Chain A
Amino acid sequence: MDRPAIELNGVTKNYGSVRALRGIDLVVQPRQIFGFLGPNGAGKTTSIRILLDLIRPASGTARVLGFDCQRQSVEVRRRAGYLPGDLRTYDGLRGSAFLDLIDSFRPDKRDPQFRRELLERLELDPTVTIRSLSKGNKQKLGLLQALLHRPDLLILDEPTSGLDPLVQQEVAKLLEEAVGQGATVFFSSHVLPEVERLAHAVAIIREGLIVAVEDIARLKGRSVHVLEVTFAEPPPSDLFALPGVTELRRDGNTVQVQSRDGIDALVKAIARYPVLDLRTQQPGLEEFFLTYYEAPEEQET
């Protein structure tokens, strides 16, 4: 197995008397999109800035692609594309001049054709002065410079903030493509659906501690499904006496049921009777995550 893209061991960080990180342990395996989810002030940006050696941990070690984030920080940054959460660029420069500047740090990775492709796909005009770009376009430029040199690791702090849904889709595609070419994406977010949509795996951080690390696909399989079925005639009352299934409501021929362990058994039970209508809703990970947000202490293991 490859060395991990990111490895944090017991990382702590204090700002004065505020304990921003209280001992972060995290391993991010390569070639995946990894979401870093937590409410504002949980320590997402602090963790990310430690990876890039912009700030130094009080204790613990951080490694990126096998390089120590402090002692080999230049090697880390050579291989990392970074989008700051609070993106500030040289406002007086045109987009193209700014991208030239970013290129000049890695002359061997310069790829004008890829730059053109990115500009086209994100619909960004590089001749405009950064000062006159809208917030969304500035964010696109920030993403573009992170992707520009095809880094092995993309570290994106709140990547889709300020982007419209169409652009978000394009960004999702770009990230998937980067992963397809062997890169790892590590992004932070406080928006649950974003993580659910983009990420393959997720770590949840709260008050400076990792409270859960989960595989998104497994989470989805495990999460709660709700079905609303309308039968041609009233079904038997014990039809939904299945493990993990709860009948929520019965209204004549229409029954609402909830299943915790996938929906296979449930669908097969329903199929034995004539069905007029079937509606399904997946509550998603929201409920799941909210349990961590609301009661972190009980979830710590």
Chain B
Amino acid sequence: MGVQLNVLRKSLRDQRWQIVGFGLALFLMAALIVAIWPSYRNTVASIQLPEAVQAFLGSDLNYSMASGFISAEYFSWIPVLLIIYAVIQGTGAVAGEESSGTIDLLMAQPITRANMVLQKSIAATVGSALIIGFGFLGFAATIPLVDIEISVGDAALASANMLPITLFHFALALWLGSVAPNRATAVAIAVAVATAGYFLNTVAAIVGSVSWLQYASPFYYYGAGLPLVKGLDWARVAALLGPTLLLVAWAMHSFDRRDIIVGGASNVRLRDLLRRVTG
């Protein structure tokens, strides 16, 4: 079988305005945060950071330093935007085409279902990287012009570190879209899981007695702006990318085994749902 990239190309074409929109938002945020740093430098030292924000930063980052400031103002919440994009793409890949009914004609073409899912996953990876890349350009354009204690290289590492958490949520949404009865359900569950993960990380950091719960949150492995001061933590990257690959493979498997339902199913019985999950 030759390498087909047509679904990948179409998928990227379909999401081009999303990429530009999210990318522009990241670019402007990054440039703005760097640009205001010099004027905040002298005042931030006296700011008492809310406990939750400091908890998210952890003990390695200090808000009175450029790395901590940029972590809090950019790297701690930009993944939320990226996850919105990831959930749109992840649930759209299978469940979205099913809900809109376009999947019938798409899957009547000579292509395996796994190939279709793979091409869409690659498209989402490229899209995520492009959006994150736009954000990095915001740093690269402003850091050399401003008196700031982080380098363009640091910003590149920390930006790249946002990719695994984005892809993890894409894979989660993709998997949900391949087992949930319809797209709306998949979106709801994906958003709930992402939100739970975000707050779990924060709460577990504040409440010492349940700090072990952090390990259950994808955001713990993300680590916000840590790469600004410590470089990439490959173990944490692997902790996110491992489950990501697993979920994509599982999504392919589940989707490959089941019936395609135009319009999405309205009432899937529990037994059918379990069969979808287990393949």
Measured in the bound complex, the distance between the Cα atoms of B14 and A53 in whole Å is: 26
Q: Is A106 an interface residue (CB 8 A)?
A: yes
Q: What separation, in Å, do the CA atoms of A16 and B112 have in the docked complex?
A: 26
Q: Which residues of A contact B102 (CB under 8 A)?
A: 88-90
Neighbour of B109 across the interface among A56, A75, A89, A102, CB < 8 A:
A102
Docked CA distance A82–B109 (Å): 9
The distance in angstroms between the C-alpha atoms of A80 and B101, with both chains bound, is: 19
Known: A55-B259, A74-B110, A105-B110. A82 touches B269 (CB 8 A): no
Note all chain B residues with C-beta closer than 8 A to A132. none
Bound CA–CA A80/B6 (angstroms): 19
Contacts of B262 in A (CB 8 A): 84, 86, 88
Query: Which residues of chain A have C-beta atoms less than 8 A from B111's C-beta?
Result: 74, 77, 105
Is the pair B105, A82 in contact by a Cβ cutoff of 8 Å?
yes
A176 to B231, alpha carbons, bound, how many Å?
A: 68
Are the C-beta atoms of A77 and B100 separated by less than 8 Å? no
Q: Tell me if A54 and B6 are in contact (CB < 8 A).
A: no
Q: Does A52 make an interface contact (CB < 8 A)?
A: yes
B109 & A54 in contact (Cβ 8 Å cutoff): no
Asked if A253 is at the interface (CB within 8 A of a chain B CB), the reply is no
Contacting residue for A84 out of B100, B104, B272, CB 8 A:
B104
Q: Is B108 in contact with chain A by the CB < 8 A criterion?
A: yes
Q: Evaluate contact between A54 and B107: CB separation under 8 angstroms.
A: yes
Contact B109 A105 (CB under 8 A): yes
A90 and B105 alpha carbons, distance in the complex (Å): 10
> What is the CB-to-nearest-CB distance from B187 to chain A, in angstroms, rounded to a whole number?
20
B113 to chain A, nearest CB (A): 9
Known: A16-B269, A55-B259, A104-B6. A77 touches B101 (CB 8 A): no
Contact of B105 (CB < 8 Å), options: A78, A88, A92, A104: A88
Chain A contacts to B: CB under 8 angstroms: 16, 49, 52-56, 73-75, 77-78, 80, 82, 84, 86-90, 92, 101-102, 104-106, 145
What are 24 pairs between A and B in contact, CB < 8 Å? Answer: A49-B260, A52-B107, A54-B104, A54-B108, A54-B259, A54-B260, A55-B260, A77-B111, A82-B105, A84-B105, A84-B262, A86-B104, A86-B262, A88-B100, A88-B101, A88-B102, A89-B102, A90-B14, A92-B14, A101-B6, A101-B10, A105-B4, A105-B6, A106-B110
